[in-house]
Amino acid sequence: MRVLLSLDTVLSCSLAYFFRVFGVVTVKKKSRAKKKPPHKKNRIRRVGILTGGGDCPGLNAVIRAVAKTLITETGAGIVGIRDGFYGLVMGQARELSYLDVSGILTQGGTILGSSNKDNPFDFYLPVGPKVVRKDCSKMALANYKKWKLDALVCLGGDGTMFVANRLIKMGMNIVGVPKTIDNDLAETDRTFGFDTAVSVVTEAVDRVHSTAASHHRCLVVETMGRYAGWIALYAGVAGGADIILIPEIPFNPEAVCEVVSSRYNRRKYATIIVVAEGAMPRGGKAVVEREISDSPDPVRLGGISKVVADLVEKRTGVESRAIILGHVQRGGTPTAFDRALATRYGYRAAQLVAKGRFGRIPVLKGNRITDVPIRRIAGKVRKVARNNPLIKAARGVNTSFGV
Ligand code: F6P
């Protein structure tokens, strides 16, 4: 060990001498002296952060990664804005210290609060006991200036990015982070939160197998996902569903019943159907659970599982039940995959801010994090392609898509 150490020392001394003689060290020193810390270069002193849209596991992991990286690398102060764009318009925010964002990696939800209703350009402004509907984007800009923000990091889905894109045009320096359990954002292979939602649904499907078998029933499990079938597809395959119904493949009720009946005739008395909330029969429409008038995207889907369960029971005679998993898919601690992805996204977002590369959003392509302009994501929905490899694999193991 001693001999190895001394050899090592001799080697490094002679290398240092060699570099000094040939001037290599001088060149290196010069470039080091020129390099300014990023905060001096771009003067990033204060950065706001908000979480918009429906909450999702991994939001706190992103907040932590953005804040810790920026505090460490640029020395910036972090301003946490309350309840998404609501807080930006109403001027509700607080300073976030390093300690504030420590220990939140595994926490579900968002420490900042969120809102999937508030759009500064069409805002429901509380004025005394009344609510006035008006464009409050100038109030949002005024708060951005009042808080002396050099940049604002917006965590959200297509709706949040749609608003962010308009705020950019008003002069705000914005960096986005792609969030949603639905995994339906354009330009990115994965949004954080999706993996957790799929795990929750898969566990639920695993559990209903035994009760369906005990009672010789058809159980229809409904997932979230809006107009895209990503959650139902992944959890349906992972949970071994017999039938998966997604919005991208409108189903034929006859075909669904035929699968249930033919299984019954082969003494497979139980059938598991996983249905996305946005699924619909051929020529039919998605089932709307409610409309929220003060929301920019007022339609809330829900109830297709009951339609399918009733149809199956009526036409096949197999007793059926509907199970709507609902918000349980959005709650709780993120999976290891989502924690890691959220940290990668948050770190990249902080880098974009530090380098002054505003108007951009980190995305995942394959296993690589890169970034694209926010406008390419704003207001767009990424659906499951009919030739998705997972659909092909599912068909390979005789999973039906109800067609
Ligand atoms: O976009 C996320 C999501 O959870 C959708 O899957 C679902 O349709 C919707 O939000 C539910 O919204 P809310 O929280 O308003 O009921």
HSE toward the beta carbon, residue 56, CA cutoff 13 A: 32
Q: What angle do CA 173, 175, 178 make, to 5 degrees?
A: 155
Looking at the chain, the domain(s) classified CATH 3.40.50.460 span 197-330
Q: State the distance from the centre of ligand 1 to the C-alpha of 302, rounded, in angstroms.
A: 10
Q: Is the dihedral of CA 381, 329, 201, 58 positive or negative?
A: positive
What is the structure's pLDDT at 264?
97
The catalytic residues are: 182
Q: Report yes or no: 354 and 65 within 8 Å, Cβ to Cβ.
A: no
CATH class of 42-192+334-376: alpha beta
Which residues does the chain have with pLDDT short of 50?
A: 1-31, 33, 39
22-70 tens-digit pLDDT: 333 333 444 454 555 554 555 899 999 999 999 999 999 999 999 999 9
**Which of 55, 56, 110, 116 best tests ligand 1's pocket when mutated (most atoms within 8 Å of CB)?**
116
Q: From the CA of 181, give the closest atom in ligand 1.
A: 2
Parallel/antiparallel/unpaired status of strands 174-178 and 151-156: parallel
Residue 4 is predicted with a pLDDT of: 41
Distance from C-alpha of 133 to C-alpha of 60, rounded to nearest angstrom: 31
**pLDDT for 229-244, tens place per residue?**
999 999 999 999 999 9
pLDDT at 37: 55
Query: Selecting from 3.40.50.1240, 3.40.50.460, 3.40.605.10, 3.40.50.720, what CATH number does the domain 197-330 have?
Result: 3.40.50.460
CA of 85 to the centre of ligand 1 (A): 17
> Which atom of ligand 1 lies at the shortest distance from residue 224's CA?
6
pTM of the model: 0.90
Quote the ligand 1 centre to 117 CA distance (angstroms). 11
Residues of the chain with CATH 3.40.50.450: 42-192+334-376
Burial letters 282-309, b for 16+ CB under 10 A, else e: eeeebbeeeeeeebebeeebbbbbbbbb
- Is 225 touching ligand 1 by the criterion CB < 6 Å? yes
